[in-house]
């Protein structure tokens, strides 16, 4: 049983339970979600109502107002639908509710507040539509727990599960409860012009990745801006054909490959990652793949090109066969990973760094790294001296 906590306000009467529905000349329905207008009203029923009525060959509209989401959302039946987000979806702060009711992601012990899936889904926030996780409450709460890593029941802001042939464009994600978005069993999806800002107002955010891909393929991340103390974009088990372009990452761990290889005897892969025209600012690492929990498999065929960095706080390229996080329970064995990292090319990286290390490579003796190449790398300290340490 998950431990109850009494932070936040318990939702009151549910008054916003319907949406306005119209039909155009082509017979396509449009549902406009009605907001209750107060945080004591749960707008989740109205949101579900709109998706149920107009989620197949229709259009769902969120008006330029605030919607208070105080309960979980599970919307996985969408087909040929436009989702027009002009306002803000603000998640409730009743931590005990979320710990008890968040939905299973299907990976590790992860859970989520919102599951969305379907085919040919076109989500557009026009640069102003916003998901706000009210994360400041979570950042304060998690600091008081013994396990500050993947705490059971602490939800992701949204999980795209089974999303195919779709586009998510122009949406802002603020102060996520934990990971911003998990993407699982999804294929052929473009995430374009996305802002993720998990900067806490009172406490530093923890374990607030920008995006995590799991068992997914043919993903494009274009024009992302991520402010996060954790991974900006993380590729996990069986992520293939991922492209990241024209993006800017700040204050976090950059692009991560992992966690992977953490489950004993399970075979996992990461293949065909391409990263172009990207900047890191004040990041700890630019590219940290890891593995070492007894799993099998490989990460291969990865290209990073035309990269710009500013004030890097650690090695720009870091490979570790065992990454462990402060506050995570248990002990680890990092000496004999059977997960191999191979065929990695970094071609063109320039900018400033605070670390003398250009690269840090710690590979397994059992499955050594192979074909790792760094070309045209020019990292310099503030005084203009070149960083030149490789470990």
Q: Which of 84, 132, 209, 230 is catalytic?
A: 230
139/177 Cα distance (integer angstroms): 8
| Active-site residue, 43 included | no
Q: How far is CA 138 from CA 119, 143, 155, 238, 314, in A?
A: 32, 9, 10, 30, 28
Q: Give the SS3 label for residue 202.
A: coil
Task: Give the tokens for residue 145.
Answer: 């727990």
189/17 Cα distance (integer angstroms): 31
- What beta strand segments (E) does 207-331 contain? 211-214, 216-227, 233-235, 239-250, 255-257, 267-281, 296-312, 317-320
156/104 Cα distance (integer angstroms): 10
CA-based nearest residue to 172, from 132, 119, 215, 213: 132
Residue 53: CB atoms within 10 Å: 16
153/267 Cα distance (integer angstroms): 26
Beta bridge partner(s), residue 116: 75, 160
Collect all residues with Cβ–Cβ distance below 8 Å to 354 and sequence separation of at least 6: 311, 312, 313, 381, 382
362/244 Cα distance (integer angstroms): 25
286/306 Cα distance (integer angstroms): 13
Task: Give the tokens for residue 75.
Answer: 């919307």
Q: Give the SS3 label for residue 192.
A: strand
The full DSSP string for 291-311 is --SS-EEEEEEEEEEEEEEEE
347/123 Cα distance (integer angstroms): 34
Q: Give the catalytic positions in this structure.
A: 230
């Amino acid at each position: 049983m998950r431990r109850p906590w009494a932070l936040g306000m318990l939702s009151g009467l549910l008054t916003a339970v319907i949406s306005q529905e119209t039909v155009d000349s082509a017979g396509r329905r449009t549902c406009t979600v009605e907001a209750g207008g107060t945080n004591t009203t749960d707008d989740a029923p109205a949101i579900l109502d709109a998706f149920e009525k107009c989620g197949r060959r229709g259009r769902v509209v969120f008006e330029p107002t605030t919607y208070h989401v105080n309960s979980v959302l599970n919307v996985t039946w969408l087909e040929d639908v436009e989702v027009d987000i002009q306002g803000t979806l603000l998640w409730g702060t009743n931590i005990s509710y979320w710990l008890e009711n968040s939905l299973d992601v299907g990976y590790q012990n992860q859970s989520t507040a919102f599951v969305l899936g379907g085919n040919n889904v076109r989500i557009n926030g026009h640069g102003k539509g916003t998901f706000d996780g009210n994360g400041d409450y979570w950042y304060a709460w998690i600091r008081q727990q013994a396990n500050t890593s993947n705490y059971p029941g602490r939800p992701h802001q949204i999980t795209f599960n089974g999303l195919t042939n779709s586009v998510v464009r122009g949406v802002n994600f603020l102060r996520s409860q934990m990971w911003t978005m998990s993407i699982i069993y999804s294929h052929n999806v473009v995430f374009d012009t996305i802002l993720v800002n998990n900067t806490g107002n009172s406490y530093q955010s923890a374990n607030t990745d920008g995006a995590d891909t799991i068992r997914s393929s043919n993903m494009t991340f274009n024009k992302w801006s991520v402010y996060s103390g954790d991974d900006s974009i993380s590729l996990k088990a069986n992520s293939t054909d991922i492209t990241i372009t024209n993006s800017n990452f700040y204050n976090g761990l950059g692009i991560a490959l992992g966690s992977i290889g953490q489950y004993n005897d399970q075979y996992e892969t990461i293949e065909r990652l391409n990263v172009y025209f990207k900047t890191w600012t004040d990041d700890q690492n630019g590219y940290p793949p890891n593995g070492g929990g007894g799993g099998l498999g490989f990460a291969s065929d990865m290209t990073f090109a035309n990269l710009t960095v500013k004030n890097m706080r650690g090695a720009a390229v870091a490979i570790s066969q065992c990454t462990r996080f402060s506050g995570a329970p248990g002990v680890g064995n990092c000496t004999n990973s059977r997960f191999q990292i191979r065929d990695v090319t970094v071609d063109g990286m320039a900018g400033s760094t605070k670390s003398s290390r250009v690269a840090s490579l710690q590979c397994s003796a059992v499955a050594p790294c192979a074909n790792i190449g760094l070309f045209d790398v020019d990292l310099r300290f503030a005084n203009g001296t070149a960083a030149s340490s490789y470990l």
